Amino acid sequence: MNEPRALLNLNNLSKTYGSNRVLDNFNLTIFDGEFFTLLGPSGCGKTTVLRMIAGLEDTDTGNIQLDGQDIGQVPAEKRPINTVFQSYALFPHMTVFDNVAFGLRMSGVAKEEIAPRVTEALEMVRLGDFAQRKPAQLSGGQQQRVAIARAVVNRPKLLLLDESLSALDYKLRQQMQIELKRLQRKLGITFVYVTHDQEEALSMSDRVVVMNKGKVQQLGSPREIYEQPANLFVAKFIGEINQLDGEIVEIDGNHEYEVKVEGLKWRLHAEHNFKVGDKVNVLLRPEDVRVEYIDDPHPDQYLVGTVVERNYKGKTLDSLIRLPSGIEVIASEFFDEDDPSFDYSLNQKVAIKWVPGWEVVLPYEV
CA max distance for the chain: 78
Q: Which CB atom, from 166 or from 301, has the smaller least distance to another protein?
A: 166
Q: Which CB atom, from 67 or from 245, has the smaller least distance to another protein?
A: 67
CB of 154 to another protein, least distance (A): 7
CA dist 31 and 26 (Å) reads 17
CB of 140 to another protein, least distance (A): 7
CB of 94 to another protein, least distance (A): 8
Cα–Cα distance list, 147 to 114, 139, 168, 181, 230 (Å): 17, 12, 13, 16, 35
Q: Which CB atom, from 146 or from 248, has the smaller least distance to another protein?
A: 146
User: Which residues lie below 8 Å from residue 312, measured CB to CB, with a gap of 6+?
Assistant: none
CA dist 155 and 94 (Å) reads 21
CB of 162 to another protein, least distance (A): 6
Q: Which CB atom, from 56 or from 172, has the smaller least distance to another protein?
A: 56
Q: Which CB atom, from 115 or from 276, has the smaller least distance to another protein?
A: 115
CB of 32 to another protein, least distance (A): 21
Task: Assess contact for 322 and 262: CB atoms under 8 A.
Answer: no
User: Which residues lie below 8 Å from residue 88, measured CB to CB, with a gap of 6+?
Assistant: 135, 143, 144, 146, 147
Q: Which CB atom, from 142 or from 231, has the smaller least distance to another protein?
A: 142
CA dist 305 and 327 (Å) reads 10
Site for another protein, rule CB under 8 A: 47, 51, 54-56, 75-78, 81-83, 85-93, 99, 102-103, 106-107, 134-138, 140, 143, 146, 150-151, 154, 162-163, 166-167
Alpha-carbon dihedral angle through residues 48, 53, 57, 58, given to the nearest 10 degrees: 110
Q: For residue 89, which amino acid is it?
A: A
CB of 190 to another protein, least distance (A): 16
